[in-house]
Structure 1
Amino acid sequence: MALPSTDTSRYDNTLAVIRTLRDQGPVARVDLGALNGISSATVTSISAELLQQGLITERPPETPRPSGRGRPKTLVELNPQAACVVCIKLSINEIQLVVGDFSGQVRHSEHHAVTTLALSADDLETLLDEKISTVCAQQLNEFQRLAGICLAVQGVVSSQSGTIIWSPALSFRNAPISARLAERFHCSVLLENDANCIASVLAAKPDYKDCPNLVVIMLGYGIGMSVLINGVPYLGANGSAAEFGHSKYQPGGALCACGRRGCIEAYASDYALYRAASDHLALPSGDSAHPSEQQMQTLTQQALNGDPAMQRIYAEAGRALGYGIANILALFNPDLVLITGSGVRGFDAMQAAMHHAIDDALVAELRGTTRIESCAWDRDMTCMGGIAMALHATDAQALSMSQASSVS
């Protein structure tokens, strides 16, 4: 088996080309050089190797210009079939599996309703084994190999040890999961907090690239947060940093899914809003721990239409968010606080109370110039982030394996 090139700069440049093509889509060789500060000769050589290895393909040449001047550009792009990754999103009473191709695009997605709190650690391992095996049997024949798996979990995880430390979706704690799945499927397995997956997608967007100190708050079935300091996620000693939803708003207050009282999540999450609304409205039966999007849209619309009870409930959620965000501003002084997630549907009904709470909690000097914005949740960025993180973590391995197979 051939070893990877010992030319570190060449290897790094090759990885940079792969990642640029994933971020930008089809790019001409001359533009790849400019984007990465690499000479045209080096890009030509690298692209020739990647073509031979099957990691990129060439598009047909562009149509010649009417003037006849200049050669039309030939664009190169990643070969989507070169590899795939599987991302599993685990939340309360639901598991989503997504297959992403080598270019980072979603090729398959499926949801499964599961009573997650009834699962033991062994049950979860068996369930994941079954679901991943099934999706691989159905989808893997389209790809050269399975490069990796990412498990995105609501709660506290240790990415380093591959252990689910605690999740409100599960009744057990401290379960090692990554090593077992890696052994079973013979590939790299990442374990990530769901909010960190979302932040990885947003941090790469051009609109936010000037915000190295970024806080992303995810509203939805729970309340999650990711803190990026100088572009690097802050995880803390054991992965439990940035658990914004389980910081306190009212000690001794409403019951949270974590089992404690008064957490921000117990006022601003979907289940908290639905629970509060059920005290005032006759609501249809459903999963109160994970209300449907239709149920939440109905509640939000009632608040926006002026229903007094729903306005009070959403205002209380806004206050809980506001006092929590005030603590973030005082502690981290980020460039931007970005609020997203499916629960951002109710942001318009919350934001006046949220801003009032921030102003009440902080002197102007501590609020500073930090921007506070919402970001539309027009697609689920959790699995998109998981796909991107799994591909990034396995690109070097994919390159090494392709180099080895091309000379064997």
Structure 2
Amino acid sequence: MALPSTETSRHDNTLAVIRTLRDQGPVARVDLGALNGISSATVTSISTELLQQGLISERPPETPRPTGRGRPKTLIELNAQAACVVCIKLSINEIQLVVGDFTGQVRHSEHHTVSTLTLSADDLAVLLEEKIDAACDQLLGGFQRLAGICLAVQGVVSSQNGTIIWSPALSFRNARISARLTERFHCSVLLENDANCIASVLAAKPDYADCPNMVVIMLGYGIGMSVLINGVPYLGANGSAAEFGHSKYQPDGALCACGRRGCIEAYASDYALYRAAAEHLNLPAGDSAHPSEQQMQALTQLAMNGDPAAQRIYAEAGRALGIGIANILALFNPDLVLITGSGVRGFDAMQATMHHAIDEALVAELRGTTRIESCAWDRDMTCMGGIAMALNATDGETLLESQTAREA
């Protein structure tokens, strides 16, 4: 049954207060009202309830200045221990598990080297259960509840029905994973494309506040993309929208990890760049199908130092990106195209031919005023985005559970 409008408004205002405290950190009640368009009386009432439920706490009053007037502001903040979420990033031969607290801060992180391509769907589920169990045994005693789990995956996923449709990290397809984890851990489980997790972090940055229609392209082992329309990720009918890396550059061209030929990824991803370079250059030893960061840094340095073969390879990658971005501009007319990911290390070697390809493909009117920028990959934003998305999806459940516990 739907809540009466007054109760719905109260619930929405309470969630707005929680999320503002998460975004802003400690805030005075009067400032919370101004930030959310809520009356002071409503903020006071909401904060009183949240204090009683243990979801927020008060900081000691600020020390007044000798010449100051009036009482100093008392700041309120989220109780970091009120809940936690787990984010697992699944990529080729690696699983990263991160625990975030109720404020959205990372409290624990671990990496596991796993031969992901040898796992069956059941093997993966068992492995994830084991890793989450171990983390909960170690950390959950410090939190009131495990609110949710986010699984961030390279490849195509259906968030709606919790299915990994296809991933270059896995040998199986169409595996329903969310329902099993939900049953095991009795909490909400989100299944997200890794590029959407990254886009959620970038979209929240003040530098991009004026870009509600935004495209984020992630370069790395593969190539991912997230399309935000009015700030909301566009997922498509089954979650496979925005697969930029698997749109075509050269029909019947280079072999892609998806098994088809001519994809943009087959020219501009790490494995494609390294594959092309290995035929002509002396590069560090390693797995050429899954090049390491050291191998990719060596290749990038050759291009930046003027090696003709390396420069040609990066130029071709830039042209593939440019053709793809030109199609994005014509189809979506976004405010911003933002290029990031670990593969952005080679962006300087690609961007001249990328821009030339865009100019060659589009009339000026179709290119319009869209900004095309790169964003440094100084930290992996995937798990930070997964934590934020899991918290945002479960704040209502945490609020309801804390209210029920208080009334019991």
Q: TM-score scaled by structure 1? A: 0.97
Q: Which whole-Å CA distance do the structure 1 matches of 2:131 and 2:69 have between them?
A: 55
Cα offsets for 1:350-403 (capped at 9, x unmatched): 111100110111111111111101111121111111100100000000000011
Q: Which whole-Å CA distance do the structure 2 matches of 1:77 and 1:296 have between them?
A: 43
Counterparts of 1:176-255 in structure 2, within 5 Å, are 176-255=176-255
Q: Which is worse superposed, 274-283 or 106-115?
A: 274-283
SS in 2 for 1:7: helix
Cα offsets for 1:174-233 (capped at 9, x unmatched): 110000000001110000111111111111111112111111100111100011112221
What is the CA-CA distance between 1:6 and the residue it aligns to?
A: 6.8
User: What is the aligned residue count?
Assistant: 406
5+ residue gaps, structure 2: none
1:78 aligns with 2:67: no
The amino acid across from 1:319 in the alignment is R
Cross-structure match for 2:108:
108
CA RMSD of aligned residues (A): 1.5
Q: Which is worse superposed, 65-74 or 221-230?
A: 65-74
Cα offsets for 1:135-167 (capped at 9, x unmatched): 111221221111000001111111110011111
The amino acid across from 2:101 in the alignment is D
- CA contact under 8 A between 1:217 and 1:339: conserved in structure 2? yes
- CA contact under 8 A between 2:283 and 2:298: conserved in structure 1? no
Q: TM-score scaled by structure 2? A: 0.97
Cross-structure match for 1:261:
261
Cross-structure match for 1:144:
144
What is the CA-CA distance between 1:287 and the residue it aligns to?
A: 3.2
- CA contact under 8 A between 2:95 and 2:111: conserved in structure 1? yes
- CA contact under 8 A between 1:339 and 1:374: conserved in structure 2? yes
Task: Flag the 1:57–1:5 CA change in 2: closer, same or farther, 3 A.
Answer: farther
Cross-structure match for 1:274:
274
Cross-structure match for 1:396:
396
Q: Which whole-Å CA distance do the structure 1 matches of 2:309 and 2:4 have between them?
A: 64
Task: Flag the 1:66–1:279 CA change in 2: closer, same or farther, 3 A.
Answer: farther
Structure ranking higher on relative contact order (CA contacts 8 Å, 6+ apart):
1
5+ residue gaps, structure 1: none
- CA contact under 8 A between 1:93 and 1:290: conserved in structure 2? no
1:23 aligns with 2:16: no
What is the CA-CA distance between 1:4 and the residue it aligns to?
A: 11
SS in 2 for 1:165: strand
Identity across the alignment (%): 88
Q: Which whole-Å CA distance do the structure 1 matches of 2:390 and 2:287 have between them?
A: 31
Cross-structure match for 1:91:
91
Cross-structure match for 2:325:
325
The amino acid across from 2:232 in the alignment is V
- CA contact under 8 A between 2:283 and 2:299: conserved in structure 1? no
What is the CA-CA distance between 1:5 and the residue it aligns to?
A: 11
Q: Which is worse superposed, 194-203 or 4-13?
A: 4-13
Q: Which whole-Å CA distance do the structure 2 matches of 1:45 and 1:276 have between them?
A: 63
SS in 2 for 1:88: strand
What is the CA-CA distance between 1:270 and the residue it aligns to?
A: 1.2
SS in 2 for 1:226: strand
Q: Which whole-Å CA distance do the structure 1 matches of 2:222 and 2:204 have between them?
A: 24
Q: Which whole-Å CA distance do the structure 2 matches of 1:118 and 1:250 have between them?
A: 31
> Which 4+ runs in 1 deviate beyond 4 A?
3-6
